With several copies, the nearest count.
Chain A
Amino acid sequence: MKKLVNDPKNVVDEAVAGFGAAHADLVSVHQDPNFIVRKDAPVAGKVGLVSGGGSGHEPMHGGFVGFGMLDAAVPGAVFTSPTPDPILAATKAVDGGAGVLHIVKNYTGDVLNFETAADLAAADGIEVRSVLVNDDVAVKDSLYTAGRRGVAGTVLVEKIAGAAADRGDNLDAVATVAEKVIARVRSMGVALTPCVVPHAGEPSFTLAEDEIEIGIGIHGEPGRERIRLEPADAIVDRLLGPILDDIPFVSGDEVLLMVNGMGGTPQIELYIVFRHAAEVLAAKGLTVTRTLVGNFTTSLEMQGMSITVLKLDQELTTLWDAPVQTAALRWGR
């Protein structure tokens, strides 16, 4: 394992400190417990948005704290949901009197820890609502699983709900638009290489020189299926099939197409993927009106990518286009 780290135990603390130092114009960082809040938090009268989860998915979530997106991000240990304490502290720090929305990715650990924090916040008189992001179509949402996972679609939920909050929507309305995005967004990913959790020191799975994992999550966990390496276009087809079948998307739909790098994939490959994904959507009669390409929801240094498709409408498009000013997503100001 070769990493640019000091003591593996300090990875998250040091990275959070570095993030705070690098983006002091946008955020304030609290350590012990670790959380990152908008520089101007709490914003009086505005619904506060809090997300969080295990570290190792950067820029998610800290890179999305700022105007027009999250009010706070709570980083846990690498690939480990944060405990309720920092979630509670972040919730209090961003409560501007209009309530707080927790945007939670659907993993048992995240759900349970955010649940506890929400209960504690409620006990302190803060109105908290939660939404569960579960966009990963690689996992069937059935009684026999923990349900679908939340992956890169989370970024879109955070951006759009953040825009709704910053235009003054109330807690109900922000939660409703977040649920709307969740209902309309689907993702699926592929890994070419595994990743190594610093404290584990070994990859979470191994792949032969000609193997790839289809349907991976974002925690270095193995996927659903292991296949031989294929050309990029064929891999794109494999991911887009289940995505497009799931909602289903229909001809005439306007969509946002996101190609998300898992952390170790060169951008040049992401654009090769984007090119074919856009072709496939066009062939299905879908119009790609908004795009996002880059590393947004990563798995440390994993090579691979995920494709996310969001069915847009006028409201979602307007909220997507609204100004955002965070470390990782920025436009309009």
Chain B
Amino acid sequence: MNLGATWAKAWIRTSADVMSEHRVELINLDREIGDGDHGENMDRGFQAVLGKLDDLPADAAPGDVFKLVATTLISTVGGAAGPLYGTAFLKAAVAVAGALELDGAALVALLTAARDGIVLRGKAELGDKTMVDAWTPAVDAAAAAHEAGANDLDILIAAANAAEAGAVATEPWVARKGRASYLGERAIGHRDPGAQSSALLLRAAADTAAA
């Protein structure tokens, strides 16, 4: 699939399905080292987005889709994840503003802007055991794939793979941001829920591009 508005909407629709499907898994991860709401938050947010996607004008660009996602997540998710994902999509929307179809460079710019937005709001560094630990490897892998001449789909697959690996990599760590940081050593052995939802989101991006 070309990476135009149709793909952007499909990505978001698939993400909504994925968040519903993985709601309990994300809740359980968050019960272990947080407060047990992450799956509920993501599901609520993406369901709200789903209800609004059809209101977009027919000529909406991908950036318009992401802007709608941003404002809807900000106004429905709450918690830490709401502002963080909201800012990510807002910055992503700005990064690809105007483009009707995204090429590899735009994809990398989109992912980079999203990650930068999360870091801007949350001030987390790599290794703090947050969603940044999924996004930064994803950005790096996407950039490397693009540089190596990969096509759009492969860039997204590289990003999704790296995000998944990044989420898994958070397991042995102590957390330094978010609720899990209160736990000290007891966070060890548990995957960060936000890193996991980030990996799900990026996998959805690749899956819809492959369709």
Direct contact of A and B (CB under 8 A): yes
| A contact set with B: CB distance below 8 Å | 54, 76-85, 107-109, 112-113, 115-116, 138-139, 143-146, 149, 197, 199-200, 202-205, 217, 219-222, 224
Most buried by B among A85, A115, A203: A85
Task: Report chain B residues within 8 Å CB of A219.
Answer: 34-35, 179
B-side interface residues, number (CB < 8 Å): 34
Indicate if the CB atoms of B36 and A108 lie closer than 8 Å. Answer: no
B179 with A113: CB separation less than 8 A = no
Shortest CB-to-CB span from B26 to chain A, Å, is: 10
Are B182 and A139 interface neighbours, CB within 8 A?
A: yes
Contact in complex: A222, B37 (CB < 8 Å)? no
Beyond A109-B80, A144-B174, list 6 extra A-B contacts (CB 8 Å): A79-B35, A82-B78, A146-B178, A197-B40, A200-B37, A203-B31
B37, A199: Cβ atoms under 8 Å? yes
- B37 engages A108 (CB within 8 Å): no
- Given known contacts A76-B78, A77-B78, A112-B80, A204 and B183 CB-to-CB distance under 8 angstroms: no
Name which of B79, B82, B176, B186 has the most chain A CB atoms within 10 A of its CB. B79
- Chain B residues 61-94 with CB under 8 Å of chain A are 74-84
Residue from the set A77, A81, A116, A146 with the largest chain B CB neighbour count within 10 Å: A146
Question: Quick one: closest A residue to B77, CB to CB?
Answer: A83
B40 and chain A: residue at smallest CB distance = A199
Is the CB of B181 closer than 8 A to any CB of chain A?
yes
Question: What B residues does A113 contact at CB under 8 A?
Answer: 78-79, 82-83
Give the distance in Å from the alpha carbon of A203 to the alpha carbon of B28 in the complex: 10
Q: Assuming A82-B78, A83-B82, A144-B176, is B37 touching A77 (CB within 8 A)?
A: yes
Instruction: Assess whether A197 is in contact with B78, with CB atoms less than 8 Å apart.
Output: no
**Residues in chain B near residue A83, CB distance under 8 A:** 74-78, 82
Q: Known: A204-B31, A220-B36. Contact between A146 and B74, CB under 8 A?
A: no
B121 touches A204 (CB 8 A): no
Q: Is B14's CB within 8 Å of the partner chain A?
A: no
B174 to chain A, nearest CB (A): 8
Q: Whole-angstrom distance from the CB of B76 to the nearest CB of chain A?
A: 6
Interface string of B24-48 (1 = CB under 8 A from A): 0001100101111100110010000
In angstroms, Cα B36 to Cα A306, docked, is: 21
User: Would you call B182 and A145 a contact (CB within 8 A)?
Assistant: yes
**B122 interface contact, C-beta 8 A:** yes
- Residues on the B chain within 8 Å of A54, using CB: 35, 37, 78-79
How distant is the Cα of A69 from the Cα of B176 in the complex, in angstroms?
34
Name the contact of A77 in the complex, choosing from B40, B183, B184 (C-beta under 8 A).
Answer: B40
Chain A residues with CB under 8 Å of B22's CB are: none
Whether the pair B75, A224 counts as a contact (CB closer than 8 A) is no
Contacts of B84 in A (CB 8 A): 112
A146 B179 Cβ-Cβ under 8 A: yes
Q: Which residues of A contact B33 (CB under 8 A)?
A: 221-222
Query: How distant is the Cα of A76 from the Cα of B40 in the complex, in angstroms?
Result: 13
Q: Ordered nearest first, which 4 A-B pairs have the shortest CB separation?
A: A112-B83, A219-B35, A109-B79, A109-B80
**Contacts A85-B75, A197-B36 given; does A112 touch B121 at CB 8 Å:** yes
With the chains together, A149 CA to B174 CA distance in Å?
18
Q: Which residue of B lies closest to A195 (CB)?
A: B36
A200 touches B31 (CB 8 A): yes
A99 to B181, CA, bound (A): 34
With A200-B37, A224-B182 already in contact, the answer to whether A108 and B31 are too (CB < 8 A) is no
Using a CB-CB cutoff of 8 Å, which residues 154-192 of chain B contact chain A? 174, 176-179, 181-184, 186
Can you give 8 contacting A-B residue pairs, CB < 8 Å?
A80-B41, A83-B75, A107-B80, A145-B176, A197-B40, A200-B27, A219-B179, A224-B184
CB contacts (< 8 Å) of A203 on chain B: these are 31
Residue in B31, B83, B178, B182 whose Cβ sees the most chain A Cβ within 10 Å: B182
CB distance from A178 to the nearest CB of B (A): 23
CB distance from B65 to the nearest CB of A (A): 20
Which residue on chain B has the smallest CB distance to residue A299? B35
Cβ distance A275 to chain B, nearest Cβ, rounded Å? 22
B179 contacts A76, CB within 8 Å? Answer: no
In contact, B40 and A116 (Cβ under 8 angstroms): no
Residues of chain B within 8 A of A197, CB atoms compared: 35-37, 40
Q: How far is the CA of A217 from the CA of B33 in the complex (A)?
A: 12
Q: Are B77 and A78 in contact (CB under 8 A)?
A: no
* Cβ of A80 to closest chain B Cβ, rounded Å: 4
B90 CB → nearest A CB, Å: 11
What is the CA–CA distance of A4 and B159 in the complex, to the nearest angstrom?
45
Contacts A145-B176, A146-B178, A146-B182 given; indicate if A108 touches B80 (C-beta within 8 A): yes
Contact A200 to B83, CB < 8 A, known contacts A108-B179, A222-B183: no
> In whole angstroms, what is the CA distance A83 to B78 when docked?
4
Instruction: Tell me how far the C-beta of B35 lies from the nearest C-beta in chain A, rounded to whole angstroms.
Output: 4
With contacts A80-B78, A112-B84 taken as known, whether A107 is within 8 angstroms of B179 at the C-beta atoms is: yes
Once the chains are docked, how many angstroms separate the CA of A80 from the CA of B44?
Answer: 12
With a CB–CB cut-off of 8 A, which chain B residues contact A138? 182
